[in-house]
Structure 1
Amino acid sequence: MKNFLLLTRPFENGIIVREHICCFLSEFFGTGMLLFFGCMGCVYYEVNKYNQWLSALNFGLVVLIVVQCFGCCSGAHLNPVITIAAWIYNMLSGFAASLYILAQFTGAYCGYALLRLLLPSSLCTPNLCMTTLRVDITIWQAIGIEFCTTVALVWVTCAVWDPRNVRMQDSAAIRIGLTISALALAAGPLTGASMNPARSFAPAIWHNSYDHHWIYWLSPIMAGIFAASFYRVVFRREVDSADINNPKLEAIQIP
């Protein structure tokens, strides 16, 4: 995965400017692909009956594809919550994080717009890919579910960033994709398992439907702040650069 520490110094030189542009475009196209292909898997039609297994697996595999495509460019956050976590983790400057978040929201909007443009009108249902609450779920239950699922997602991501796991980056796309699928399978029937304000924002703004929409902003963002801060303070351990490639280095070392 990309070493983002260079992005803590915006506009230091031409290389840094080019890196910011590269990261912006990677997040824009990556989040656009997430909404385009992910929401395409939520379309209900006769040949491909919508079901929770299909949707969860589809979103996870799309994330896998996008992380594989753009992980080396921007880290493929695809989610403002992950970007906030990276900022807390001291991997991004505030300026770089703001560029990421802008790219994610604009990419999500454009990706969903492209999907609506290419789908026949009969398949563009009013609730296509909307994250909504189950009818018997209370507000506090929904907040708790979104909070817990987002904490799990951020902790997996922080573990991928952990210096002790630097030799295990080849499987990062698989790990994150399967995490998304697992969490979507668990929480999807209850809240939609958004874990991502940009993912919920694009369908909501296109359908002009904002019922309980604030939950998909407040809960994931608070979860991201908590999870990243907790992991950084409690779990993260620094590793000397000389030890990174040491095959005897263990993930857990007790002095």
Structure 2
Amino acid sequence: MTKFNKELLINLLAEFLASMLVQFSGCGVTNYWSGSWSKGWSMAYLPYAVGWGGSVIAATQAFRILSGAHINPCISIAAMIMQQVEVLDGFLYILMQLLGSAAGFGVAYGIVRRDNASGFCVTRISIDPWWKSILLEFYMTGAWVLAMCASWNVANEELLETISLRIGIVVAASTLAGGGYTGASMNPFRSLWPAIADSFWDYIYIYMVVPPITAALLAVAWRFLYLQGDIESSTTKKGGDE
């Protein structure tokens, strides 16, 4: 079992702050632009995508050297499978992401939410038939997970300075592609707290189940098909920043 030490405490704090930053910034952008949305894609989704992707860039740049800036429990699941973090550490990361996203949503709800506005930062399915949203969340989450798996590979050791930008662009591009149809969650905690606050449970199971399953499947495929089980060909702990 992993010893709980000062380094782990700092990493957990970093995950809390990174998750808080992304949820606060993303929900703030969502609140500002949601009034101009219509069913399906609209130009309002461009700043929406840039807002969420930019928040991931900022959080990754600030906290990657500490915890790896997973931000998303799906990334922590992939990291555990890829042996980038110990299993116990990974679950503690996920706990901090849960709490950090709750704090970020709470701050955004209290500061930037429009008075008496309902559906603050809620992710909604607006594609027919609804099951297509499962494929969209699979592809969008998968893009983020695969980008992180690639960033952990030894081939990226000399490119670490641009990883935060590249991960953020992947998130922004995925959000731009699917934001008009599912809200581009890619993270169960991103959808959980708005759903609780608004008591909006339509298709919540898609947001809670599809991204983690996607992360597990693609991380296993990456490790045992691409790397053929050779974890030594990927960089070590903290996403390869050491």
Alpha-carbon distance between aligned partners in 1 of 2:52 and 2:71, rounded to the nearest angstrom: 12
Name whichever structure is richer in helix by fraction: 2
- Where does structure 2 lack aligned partners over 5 or more consecutive residues? 38-43, 236-242
- Where does structure 1 lack aligned partners over 5 or more consecutive residues? 1-8, 242-255
Alpha-carbon distance between aligned partners in 2 of 1:31 and 1:230, rounded to the nearest angstrom: 26
Residues 99-132 of structure 1, C-alpha deviations (whole Å, 9 max, x = no match): 101000111111111111112642x621121111
Aligned equivalent of 1:55:
48
Decide which of 62, 65, 73 is 1:80's aligned counterpart. Answer: 73
- With over 3 angstroms needed to count, the CA separation of the structure-2 counterparts of 1:215 and 1:74, relative to structure 1, is same
Counterpart of 1:78, as a letter, is I
Decide which of 201, 204, 210 is 2:201's aligned counterpart. Answer: 210
**1:83 CA drift (Å):** 0.2
**1:239 CA drift (Å):** 4.5
Alpha-carbon distance between aligned partners in 1 of 2:36 and 2:62, rounded to the nearest angstrom: 29
Aligned equivalent of 2:177:
186
Contact conserved, 2:109 with 2:120, CA < 8 A, in 1?
no
Q: Aligned pair 1:130/2:119, yes or no? A: no
Structure-2-length-normalised TM-score: 0.87
Query: What value does the CA root-mean-square deviation take over the aligned residues?
Result: 2.1
Alpha-carbon distance between aligned partners in 1 of 2:198 and 2:172, rounded to the nearest angstrom: 25
**1:45 CA drift (Å):** 6.8
Aligned equivalent of 1:17:
5
Q: Aligned pair 1:163/2:154, yes or no? A: yes
Structure-1-length-normalised TM-score: 0.83
Aligned equivalent of 2:238:
none
Q: Aligned pair 1:154/2:154, yes or no? A: no
Radius of gyration: which is bigger?
1
**Paired residue total:** 226
Residues 85-110 of structure 1, C-alpha deviations (whole Å, 9 max, x = no match): 00000111221011101000111111
